[in-house]
């Protein structure tokens, strides 16, 4: 449907697609519409023209969607951190489910999908315990959605309340620490402790950092690290206090260092582990190829004789080894390795189960080839991108695997990100 209204296009929005866009069509050409909701009529401005598609932004709601709501964040529509705050949480979940299933049908060529439902976040807001603030000309916040200009904020509705309470202290610290680009905050809700990581261009004297920890930040900030960039790598200059915090997930305890990854949505930690464990039968030997600090690896060790975790991040591997001892698990070992190098080195070994939790880019083709060659009975695939997941499922299906279970776990409410937990079983 096409009608010019004051240099705008009137668009009928069909549904949401990956990226958080509303999908519309004009004369056979696809239009991706920012800040649209499913089943509504909008006036939108074209902001990008490509040969096969256009990108537009809503300027006026003509007929509102039943799922549209007033976004609670005052920075929404400017800040690039969220894409779905204008849509009810119920519809966010529904749209994410549809995107996941459509990706598997269209890209993955899956005809019968064993979908087992969604695990919703227990909190729509204030669920993040890891945040990376951008700093620019004294402004603390996040980049705009349309350019690398920092939106100065008083609070982020996705961040845990205790992280938000640090923002005034962070502003005060910028009077001392010069040329800051980013500030990474890790917070433990179970231990009420946090560490901060300042990414700077220039060097700040360590004594000044020590004074900040004692005089500017509250006592539950247990450590500050100062890092600089060498190319794309962050290099530690020095630290004051601790470089790690401890997280408690049910009966499991984890040390998490500044340079190690941990799941951001603390309200789903226990559900996440439970959902993965439910897909694992008892095993003799298993591997976790993107193990991190052992978030899944260590609980998984209770279900089998032996499990090995691999991760390319040396900081995560050190934490994971510590965590195995901390939790009294003597049938777990960890090794520093990429998934590809691990599979290549273990080619021909028998695994009952292999767990993969790759980045958004998914698995490399060479990794999938080695998985198929090794033929573990079960592959648990934790995905954070439905399109690369669907692509990988298609290749694994051709290699003798069948998708037998799929759940959506909503680790990132208010954003377009879609996380899922799947089981693929060897059927040859």
Active site residues: 384
Residue 405 near residue 116, CB atoms below 8 Å: yes
CB neighbours of 320 closer than 8 A, spacing ≥ 6? 291, 292, 293, 294, 297, 298, 309, 311, 334
Closest by CA position to 181, among listed 131, 136, 132: 136
In the sheet that holds 8-13, the strands lie side by side as: 4-5, 8-13, 40-49, 53-63, 29-34, 21-26, 15-17
Tell how far CA 37 is from the center of its chain. 23
Q: Using CA atoms, how far apart are residues 199 and 194, in angstroms rounded to an integer? A: 17
Q: Count CB atoms within 10 A of the CB of residue 352.
A: 17
CB neighbours of 365 closer than 8 A, spacing ≥ 6? 395
Helix, strand, coil shares of the chain, percent, nearest 5, are 25, 40, 40
Q: Using CA atoms, how far apart are residues 165 and 187, in angstroms rounded to an integer? A: 12
Tell how far CA 222 is from the center of its chain. 25
| Runs of H (alpha helix) within 278-385 | 297-300, 314-326, 339-345, 365-374
Closest by CA position to 45, among listed 78, 10, 20, 80: 10
Token pair in block for residue 272: 């996440």
Rounded (5°) CA angle 409-414-419: 25
């Amino acid at each position: 449907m096409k009608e010019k209204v004051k240099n705008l296009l009137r668009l009928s929005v069909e549904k949401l697609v990956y990226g958080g866009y509303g999908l519309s069509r004009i004369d056979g050409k696809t239009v991706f519409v920012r800040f649209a909701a499913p089943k509504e009529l909008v006036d939108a401005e074209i902001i990008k023209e490509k040969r096969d598609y256009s990108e537009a932004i809503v300027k006026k709601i003509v007929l509102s969607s039943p799922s549209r709501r007033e976004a609670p964040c005052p920075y929404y529509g400017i800040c690039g951190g969220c894409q779905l705050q204008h849509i009810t949480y119920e519809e966010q979940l529904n749209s994410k489910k549809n995107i996941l299933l459509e990706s598997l049908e269209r890209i993955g060529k899956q005809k019968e999908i064993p979908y087992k439902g969604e695990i919703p976040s227990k909190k729509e807001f204030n669920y993040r315990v890891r945040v990376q603030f951008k700093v620019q000309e004294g402004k603390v916040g996040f980049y705009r959605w349309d350019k690398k200009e920092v939106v100065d904020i008083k609070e982020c509705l996705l961040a845990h309340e205790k992280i938000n309470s640090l923002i005034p202290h962070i502003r005060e610290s910028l009077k001392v620490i010069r040329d800051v680009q980013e500030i990474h905050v890790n917070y433990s809700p179970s231990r009420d402790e946090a560490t901060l990581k300042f990414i700077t261009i220039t060097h700040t004297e360590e004594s000044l950092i020590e004074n900040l920890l004692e005089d500017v930040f509250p006592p539950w900030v247990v450590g500050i690290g100062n890092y600089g960039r060498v190319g794309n790598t962050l290099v530690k200059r020095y630290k004051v206090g601790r470089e790690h915090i401890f997280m408690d997930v049910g009966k499991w305890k984890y040390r998490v260092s500044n340079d190690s990854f941990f799941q951001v949505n603390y309200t789903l930690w226990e559900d996440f582990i439970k959902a993965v464990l439910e897909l694992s039968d008892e095993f003799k030997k298993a591997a976790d190829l993107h193990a991190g600090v052992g978030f899944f690896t260590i609980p998984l060790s209770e279900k089998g004789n032996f499990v090995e975790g691999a991760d390319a991040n040396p900081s995560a591997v050190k934490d994971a080894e510590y965590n195995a001892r901390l939790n009294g698990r003597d049938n777990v070992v960890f090794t520093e390795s990429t998934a590809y190098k691990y599979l290549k080195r273990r080619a021909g070994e028998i695994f009952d189960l292999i767990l993969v939790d790759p980045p958004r880019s998914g698995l490399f083709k060479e990794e999938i080839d080695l998985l198929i060659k090794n033929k573990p009975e079960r592959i648990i695939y934790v995905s954070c991108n439905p399109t690369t997941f669907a692509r990988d499922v298609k290749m694994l299906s051709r290699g003798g695997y069948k998708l037998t279970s799929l759940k959506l776990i909503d680790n990132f409410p208010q954003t377009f990100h879609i996380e899922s937990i799947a089981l693929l079983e060897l059927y040859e």
